[in-house]
Amino acid sequence: MLKDEINVINVGTDVFADAIKQQGGNAVQLNWKPGKTFPLSERAKTLLEKTVYSDFSKKIDEANKKVIEIFDNTDPYWIGMKPAKECVPGVEDGMIMHSGPDIAWEDMCETQKQGGINGVMFEGYAKDEDEARKLLESGKIRFVSSNDYHLVGPGSGITTPSMAVNIVEDKNTGFKGFCPPFEGPNRGGLAGWGIFNESIREHLNMVHDIIAPAMTNVLESNGGMAMRKIFTRGVEMGDELHSRQDATGIIATNELMKMLFDADITDDERKKCVDLLYGTVRFFHPLGMASAMSLLEAVRHVDYSTVVTAMVGNGVNYAIKVSGLGTEWFNAPSPMLTGEYVAAVNSDEVLPWIGDSCILESTGLGGFAAAAAPAVMRSLDKTLNDGIEQTLEMAEITITENKNYLIPALNYRGTPTGIDIRKVIETGIEPVIHGGMISKTGKRLGAGTARVPFECFEKALIAYGDKYGL
């Protein structure tokens, strides 16, 4: 019927595109689907119009260009491990840090409460759990958000003043990010899961007394370890840096082995460092999170910028921060994750999102780099094509492509980076975050994904309008 060659763009069921191809035609399958429609307040509608289509948008674009420049030129270096109270600004005795936004003690989930109690016990502020609980309930021991102190708290996110933390410094800006190291296999851990026993106490003390000083010695004598080149190679080798760090971990460990064996440290110190590296499958994950924090600290206060600088949850609330709004939190109920369980699990056991690790998504990694990580997609019972679609969807709500993280499956396009609250509201596309599913008793149940609640972005836009007189 048609004598001329036709080129088909098919939207919807891919069987039609397949049929064209089987007959020798040219067809491209467009993996498009409409975003959700969220009801907006009249105030939010007006602000969206003003921030996107009026002359005021030029101020936002200029501010966001500054953010892009910082993203592009980030140069994080792992420079050491020290007790939090010795290196993290504002951290002092008499306080415990938790993941997620600020929350009152009485509103916390039990997993985080127990983590706080265990943190108090580890520090020796109380002789038993009852005394520890009373100290936290009364506020005599302050229980505060890690993100407000440049710290990343994965899972329940418990960090105490004497716990050693990884230090990462962005050489381009001088800003630092901090994250406690993972605590090896079969330990559960205080930092991530809020669990505490004598084995964990012994391990944390050993890290404090031996590993942290030795690692700091090694790193300082080598000018630190450059993280950006490791991230770049890792993304090209199948990591998205949130649920998978296999490649980056191997690269970093390989570099560190040379440093360790050349270092002026004892054989016992060297062995303990090596044991920790090889006994902790995801040792690199905290370094990725601390690196992300060092970058986001640099864009925390760019006037007029609409870029998200934090996305964190505490098992009850989920919240974001926005560059042009400083350190103010914008909360919504924490979302549930969906994914694959490691064993038979009752869904009632699963906590809503808890942890700060999706700070990586704020820098273009994790769920935003899904197209780079087919193994992660497979673990979620999804395909590489699903990962590609997910990354392309996230490109709809970001301001740039990260020139440091290039995805082979997308012909080396950069990962979508810099979530713009206006684009989230305009498209109805909520950011996708990867992460671990945790039980209400602190056990890891599996891996999954969630969407950052739309409500966070609407609240942020309204606060933005109030601040800038719109």
pLDDT in tens, 227-264: 999 999 999 999 999 999 999 999 999 999 999 999 99
Please give the C-alpha separations between residue 32 and each of 11, 27, 300, 388, in angstroms, as whole numbers: 7, 15, 33, 12
What confidence tens digit (pLDDT) does each residue in 28-68 have? Answer: 655 555 556 788 999 999 999 999 999 999 999 999 999 99
Question: Which pLDDT does position 87 carry in this prediction?
Answer: 98
Residue 436 pLDDT exceeds 70: yes
Do 42-72+298-467 and 76-291 fold alike per CATH? no
Residue 97 pLDDT exceeds 80: yes
Residue 296 pLDDT exceeds 70: yes
- For the residues 359-369, what does the mean pLDDT come to? 97
Confidence grade of residue 438 (pLDDT, cut at 50, 70, 90): confident
Residue 12 pLDDT exceeds 60: no
The token duo for 341 is 């369980």
The token duo for 256 is 């560190």
Confidence grade of residue 209 (pLDDT, cut at 50, 70, 90): very high
Superfamily of domain 76-291: Enterococcus faecalis V583 domain (3.90.1710.10)
The candidate with the shortest Cα–Cα distance to 451, out of 347, 374, 329, 361, is: 361
Question: Which pLDDT does position 359 carry in this prediction?
Answer: 96
Instruction: Rounding to the nearest 10 degrees, give the CA dihedral for residues 127, 129, 134, 135.
Output: 50
- For the residues 462-466, what does the mean pLDDT come to? 98
Residue 17 pLDDT exceeds 70: no
Residue 156 pLDDT exceeds 90: no
The candidate with the shortest Cα–Cα distance to 453, out of 38, 33, 52, is: 38
Superfamily of domain 42-72+298-467: v583 domain like (3.90.1700.10)
pTM > 0.95: no
32 or 98, greater pLDDT:
98
Question: Which pLDDT does position 194 carry in this prediction?
Answer: 86
Domain limits, the chain: 1-32, 42-72+298-467, 76-291
279 or 296, greater pLDDT:
296
The token duo for 155 is 């899972």
CA distance linking residue 109 with residue 315, whole number of Å = 6
Least confident residue range of 194-198, 341-345, 404-408: 341-345
Question: Which pLDDT does position 34 carry in this prediction?
Answer: 57
CA distance linking residue 220 with residue 214, whole number of Å = 10
Average pLDDT of the chain? 91
- For the residues 163-169, what does the mean pLDDT come to? 97
